[in-house]
A and B are shown apart, each in its own frame.
Chain A
Amino acid sequence: MVQFSSQHVDTSFAALSDATRRGVLERLAREDASITELADTFHMTLTGMKKHVSVLEHAGLVVTEKVGRVRTCRLGVDRLEQEAAWIERYRQLWAARFDELDNVVEELKQKETADGRHKR
């Protein structure tokens, strides 16, 4: 359903619409960080940062893991990108098949033309 796809897009866009959250992604692109470290970097309360991270996590842009009392954040593979990569694989298979099918079609066309000439 279109609704399904646009929902994904909306979640990602909403996650990226905030400057702090974009900053968090840039920060995590350099290296993993705990929520406390992120809160310090962006001069925010722990609670405020937790909310931002939760939005990013929901959009699949960030993955978090709690070890002991520390929750570490790292970049996640976005679901849209993941699905796009899978569908690209599927497209490549069909594209490869169809390139070979082109040859078969061309050959059958030539054969038909030759047979037509032969009958006349």
Chain B
Amino acid sequence: MAATRDETVAANDTRTDRRSERELVVTRVFDGPARIVFEAWTTPELLMRWWAPKSFGITFLSCDADVRPGGTYKFVFAHPESGQPMAFVGRYIEVEPHARLVWTNEESDDGAVTTVTFEERDGKTHLTLRDLYPSKEALDEALASGSVSAYPEQFDELDALLKTLDQA
């Protein structure tokens, strides 16, 4: 078990790329069939176990997801540094079992449309997530404000990093 884990660490690199002026792309390989990975993305009880990573200090308060075309979702998080709970809302546009999910992000007018594809090869799932923003300015703004990483509080660290870059 430990050996398998080590092998998957290298294979399971999370990669991100600004693929165009308006889109960010994340890729990752999961050691399991697409039907299982898809299930973890579309079942609220399972989503709650991984969407708000403990290492980011956030916790799920509630997770409603009506995963079918036109269905809505609402994720509510708490963060120790934020007085108010944070809600993320939108609609599912496409739901193709074990293959493809598309949803909107409607916290703001300039929210992205997120497309996730699940491709199974040799029992592993190659996942691609694409956040497509309405304009270059919307993506720039989302990056600068920290809303793409959902948690602006974390930007204290980034400010520190930028300072070191500045001094380099």
Stretch in A9-17, A33-41, A48-56, A88-96 touching the partner: A88-96
Q: A96-B53, A108-B40, A109-B32 are in contact. Are A91 and B165 (CB under 8 A)?
A: no
Return A58 CB to nearest CB of chain B, in Å: 18
A65 at the interface (CB under 8 A from B): no
Whether A77 touches B149, Cβ cut-off 8 Å, given contacts A87-B24, A108-B39, is no
> In the complex, how many angstroms separate the beta carbon of B23 from the nearest chain A beta carbon?
10
Contact A94 B28, CB 8 Å, known A77-B166, A87-B18, A112-B36? yes
The number of residues on chain B lying at the interface, defined by a beta carbon within 8 Å of a beta carbon of chain A, is: 46
Q: Which residues from chain B sit less than 8 Å from chain A, CB to CB? A: 8, 12, 14-18, 20-21, 24, 26, 28, 30-33, 36-37, 39-40, 46, 49-51, 53-56, 129, 136, 143-144, 146, 148-151, 154-155, 158, 161-162, 165-168
Q: Does A75 contact B (CB under 8 A)?
A: yes
- The interface residues of chain A lying within 8 Å CB-to-CB of B8 are 102
Q: Which B residues touch A108, using CB under 8 A?
A: 32, 36, 39-40, 46
Q: A4-B21, A90-B143, A93-B150 are in contact. Are A105 and B31 (CB under 8 A)?
A: yes
Please determine whether A85 and B165 come into contact, CB atoms closer than 8 angstroms. yes
A87 to B161, CA, bound (A): 13
By the criterion CB–CB under 8 Å, are B50 and A101 in contact?
A: yes
Question: In chain A between 59 and 109, which residues have their CB closer than 8 angstroms to a CB of chain B?
Answer: 75-78, 81-83, 85-106, 108-109
Q: When chains A and B are docked, how far (Å) is the Cα of A1 from the Cα of B150?
A: 24
| Interface size class of chain A, counting residues whose CB lies under 8 Å from the partner chain | 35 or more
Given contacts A85-B161, A106-B31, contact A4 B12 (CB under 8 A): no
- Within the complex, what minimum Cβ distance (angstroms) separates A41 from chain B? 20
Distance in angstroms between the alpha carbons of A94 and B129 in the assembled complex: 10
B131 nearest CB neighbor, chain A only: A90
Q: Tell me the minimal C-beta distance from B150 to chain A in angstroms.
A: 7
Residues of chain A within 8 A (CB-CB) of B37 are 101, 105
Task: Find A97's partner among B53, B136, B143, B161 (CB 8 Å cutoff).
Answer: B53
Give, as a whole number of angstroms, the nearest-CB distance from B39 to chain A.
6
B20 and A1: CB pair below 8 A?
A: yes
B149 x A92 contact (CB < 8 A): yes
A6 within 8 A of B: no
Q: What's the least CB distance linking A85 to chain B, in Å?
A: 6
- Verify A77–B165 contact, CB threshold 8 A: yes
CB pair A90–B50 under 8 Å, yes or no, is no
Q: How far is the CB of A28 from chain B (nearest CB, A)?
A: 11
**Contact across chains for B51 and A97 when beta carbons are under 8 A apart:** yes
**A105, B14: Cβ atoms closer than 8 Å:** no
A85 and B53 contacting across the interface, CB-CB below 8 Å: no
CA–CA, A77 and B49, complex, Å: 38
